[in-house]
Chains A and B, each alone.
Chain A
Amino acid sequence: MRDAYIVSAVRTPGCRRKKGALAQTRPEQLISHVVKAAAEQIDLDKGAVDDFMLGCSFPEAEQGINIGRIAVQMAGFPDEVSGATINRFCSSGLESIAQSAMRVMAGWSEVTMAGGVESMSIVPMGGNLPRPEPEFVADYPEGYISMGMTAENVANRYEVTREQQDEFAYHSHMKASEAQKNGLFTEIVPTPAVRYIVDDKEGTVTKEEFVQDFDDGVRPTTTLEGLAKLRPVFSATGSVTAGNSSQTTDGAAASVIMSEDAVKKYGVKPLAKLKYYTTVGCKSDEMGVGPAVAVPKLLNMAGLQASDIGLWELNEAFASQCIYSARVIGIGDKKYWACDSPDKIINIHGGAIALGHPLGCTGSKLAATLIANMQRLGVKYGVESMCIGGGMGAAALFELCD
């Protein structure tokens, strides 16, 4: 099989659901902007792209009608460039990269694009019209369990304390604000956005256009004491709070993938290779353990040890599952994730607790972040992994191109 090279990977900022900067901007606008940016960043002839695969967790309503196809059309790609929408919930944006890369690896495509999008403000988590199957839900309600409840289960079953979760959350915010301060989110492309301003006094509604260029959920002033005061939100006696869970967020991300021939033909600099990708199922009611099963499977496939990996992006769906997964993978020690630790390798610029988890976008978003960091730090191997609603894990291994 051929190698698949990622030659461009960018993202919009991640902004808070409803209250954030992107809340009133349509998801199609977000993704088409970032698809265009990914291509233009490397001066790619848009017509060279064979296909675009877009991850999305709730591909309905504004995100429906095959938003993958709409996105490339809106971004001004020629008619010949096809588009698809892919759903594997929280790994959709990684799944799209993997499938696009496989097209290249198989020799079926020379240039593909992949991405992820989710406007959680506009299409709610769970969709507009949740309709569990009546007989299945009666027999097995776990199949539709809320994500927060699974995080409680992980915390309870695997002994992750409230204090550990809050501490982990605190460091996520500290790492993110540090990175923000130092301008290290180089994968972000400034994104045009709109908001509608209602003036009751004047009786007018104005559409304001602006450009957003930073993640707006980061709280540099968060304290452990503040986090400790929050009430659990999913269980009356639980430990999972809004503060130690991922933020619900709007965002989009995209990347360009090429064969070696294409890299040469277009004269672009390859950033990283996608070496391996895997998924695996687990119990629905503890879906957060996904990375703990997916990552060992991935490393085994690649013949690597956890210690071979220089950077990790473990999606922080919830602190409880992230802590537990790191523990199982063998990188659970605080030194691997603490803000002020010289040995930190996990989510070095913070994770979804600070930066948000725009469901279907997250896979592509974390890939963009991981590849930017691998490039900047010269790290050979990076792993991205996440848990997935319904009870699954996904993991991907990236190798740096020097």
Chain B
Amino acid sequence: MSKRIEKVAVIGSGIMGGGIAALCASAGIPTLLLDIVPFDLKDEEKDDPKARNRIVETGLQNTVKAKPAAFMDKKADPALVETGNLDDDFDRLKDCDLIVEVVVENLKIKQDLFSRIEKIMKPDTIIASNTSGLPLVNMAEGRSQQFKENFLITHFFNPVRYMKLLEVVPGVDTKQEIIDMISAWGEKILGKGIVIGKDTPNFIGNRIGVHSIAVLLNTIKDSGVTLEEVDAVMGPPMGRPRTGVFGLADLVGLDTLHHLLINSHELLPNDESRDVYSVPDWFQKMIDAGIFGNKTKQGFFKKELTPDWKKKKMKYDLETGEYVDAIKKPDLEILKTAKAAKTLADKVNLILYGDDKVCQYAWKVTAASFIYSANRIPEIADTVVDIDNAMKWGYNYETGPFEMWDMIGVKKAAEKMEADGMQVPENVKKMLDGGNESFYRIENGKKQYYDFASGSYKNIELSDNIIFLADLKADNKVIKENDSASLVDLGDGVFNLEFHTKMNALNFEIVEFLAESLEYVHQNGAGLVIGNQAGGMPGAWSAGADLLQMLTAAKEGQFEDIGKGAKTLQDSNQRIRYAPFPVVAAPYGMVLGGGCEICLAVDRLVAHTDLYMGLVEIGAGLLPGGGGHMMYWRKVIADIPTDVKVTDLSPYFIALLTNIGQAKTSTSAAEARRMGLLGPKDRIVFNKDYLIGEAKKEVLKMVDEGYVPPVKKNLPVMGREGKAMALANLFNMDKGGYVPPHMGYITKQIAGVLSGGDVLSGLEVPEEHMLKTERDAFVELWKTENSQKMAEHMLKNGKPLFM
């Protein structure tokens, strides 16, 4: 199709509307944001355009200030958002290819708005509603056939930039090409995961999500299990968000939840679980008392200050309606055994089949959700895949209900359900009766799902750009592997090096494996992708180098080994850089320390837009030791014309010193580009699932263009004059109390390495000289007691010790 979305309009500038506008603008699409003219304008304001746009301007400002950030580049992106009001600027909607309505959830207001849009729309204008509850069929009532053909629901989740789910809900009249186009656009340009929903209440994510919260609300009081226990067990141990269930309820807002319960009860008269949508008395009491969760600073939990100014967690006692002390970490045996278990499947099996009271409760509510989910096919979705995806992308579950059911054995669980007097859904029974014992399977290297409608397994259809390493591994595409890393064949002569340590941290096993992989590709391939795939939001592409090995060596006084270790890392990064074939890394999420260094070594980056990248070693009492200083400097000065004098490089030096000295981490790929961590040729991709596919394309493109490795050149450095400038500034920061003493000392070392050491400003020095300076400084730091203390603290607490 040739139709492009060149301009978007978003009507309504609240949290969702602002969020959608910010995402579109961040993706580079000019966006018109409209909202109403304030009702309470004074007479003298009635002709004042500023006053008339007050609501939309405030909305935009709030979006710019939103935390977590709604815009990816707060400096540049907001300029793509034009603002206006629905009275004076309505005609400007004519120029927009897509109009997204995000106004108040009131049918009449939406209908009136659509009737106005209908009058000015072009034949190919697409109109979308972001409603989370109103039926499409009602919203489209009275509209022309043309309108209905171009109309659909695009249901984003909050916060828009970070939540991957986009539910696309067509009406009966919506043209297929419009559905396809918006789906493809949402996936590729906005980076969303698309699920096609149906025009049923709460669509997919919220239907299943609200149900599972409703089940908890209706059973918790007499369960004999505490709120903290539920949250602890049904959080990370089950691959669910850290907030747990009640913590999530506080976040969403109990009033919102209350509204959802009542709405669901009303809109779902034939639902077999309608009773769970009733409001328990105790919950009604909370609502009546104005206890709405985080927004009112009290919900199921609240934080109180003790007389000695410490924060204390309190919980709402469902019996008495009073707040009592909460237990921060419930002391449960199951939490310990689950923690010790290796895989999520092991943990989930331990919990759901466990004997503890809390395990039995977790089983009861989880099984109810499994059953409810299966019964919703085909009512709300056609496939198990859509429901699983909705829960993963919209609720940050690590697995959806069907994937989890597979983990614990569909048959085994069904038997337990029956034994517990629960009704196993007919479609599942039928599946089991047919000898099919899982919702998913891998067949001929393709991941398949069980399709209830046809009673057979079908391939999961993915965009060509999406490559899942897990699928390839299941299809015997692993060339070699060890505990920490694998080399996977991506086809066409391109191989993927994947880390799979905790947080994908680097260790010497990976470094060794990397050398072997480079050698393998040298002999057998066209190029290498360094790409990882792991869950979590934002997840860690690589959170740095494993500190423990170094710390142990330092404690034993084996500093020579530390020097060798740093050299190994540096050599490895240099080998990547000068390999005779292209190496492309595909980072996302946390890319810190040693992980960041690898990204500075490769030929090109294909980065996900949510990128938290930086050289953060100072937080652990260290400085980059894998060549980070030299590679960062090399990268930022690479594209500067040769006749630029070294004096003109001062701002680069100061910026880099500040970034490394303050452990600055980007909050988006756009910001990483501003920081010089991404260069002009590095690409930013919005869809995380596209990363490896796009990186592979990039490798092939570079091969096709006739790749030769970069020529090694000496680098001009700031020299002693650069370091002196840094020392003068650090003196002030130190005296002002802005830098703790040891970190000030480390920053001086960073300045020394980054400036190329004690050489004349402007001298062009070999890369090896900077690497050696870095190694020496690295070893010297490890020799200090303070650095060892800081490293130990970081290992233990995951937080820097400021000293």
Identify the A interface with B (CB < 8 A). Answer: 129-134, 137-138, 141-142, 144-146, 148-149, 152, 234-238
Contact = CB atoms under 8 A, between A and B. Distances in A.
Given A131-B724, A131-B761, A235-B737, 13 more contacts: A132-B728, A134-B720, A134-B723, A134-B758, A141-B727, A141-B728, A144-B728, A145-B731, A145-B735, A149-B735, A149-B736, A235-B736, A238-B736
B650 interface: yes
A234 B732 contact: yes
Nearest to A142: B731
B647 interface: yes
- Kindly list the 5 A-B residue pairs having the minimum CB-CB distance in the complex, ordered from nearest: A141-B731, A144-B728, A235-B736, A134-B724, A236-B737
B173 interface: no
Contacts of B737: 235-238
B376 to A, nearest CB: 51
A235 B758 CA distance: 30
A122 B215 CA distance: 67
A152 B720 contact: no
B285 to A, nearest CB: 42
Contacts of B761: 131
Give the interface size bracket for B toward A.
10 to 19
Contacts of A144: 728, 731
Given A235-B737, A236-B737, A236-B738, A132 B724 contact: yes
B466 interface: no
Contacts, number: 53
Question: Which label, helix, strand, loop or mixed, suits the secondary structure of the B interface?
Answer: helix
A144 B720 CA distance: 16
Interface of B: 647, 650, 720-721, 723-725, 727-728, 731-732, 735-738, 758, 761
Given A235-B737, A236-B738, A131 B725 contact: yes
Contacts of A137: 724, 727-728, 731
B112 to A, nearest CB: 32
B95 to A, nearest CB: 16
A236 B731 CA distance: 14
B720 A146 contact: no
B721 A134 contact: yes
A118 B758 CA distance: 35
6 contacts: A129-B647, A137-B724, A138-B727, A145-B731, A235-B737, A238-B736
Nearest to B721: A131
A130 B728 contact: yes
A241 to B, nearest CB: 13
A130 B736 contact: no
Contacts of A152: 735-736
Nearest to A126: B728
B342 to A, nearest CB: 46
Given A152-B736, A236-B738, A130 B725 contact: yes
Contacts of A133: 724
Contacts of A149: 732, 735-736
A146 B732 contact: yes
A69 to B, nearest CB: 25
B141 to A, nearest CB: 40
Contacts of B720: 134
Nearest to B748: A138
A396 B732 CA distance: 31
Contacts of B731: 137, 141-142, 144-145
B658 to A, nearest CB: 15
B725 A132 contact: yes
Contacts of B650: 129
B732 A145 contact: yes
B754 to A, nearest CB: 15
B49 to A, nearest CB: 14
A70 B720 CA distance: 35
A288 B725 CA distance: 23
Contacts of B728: 130, 132, 137, 141, 144
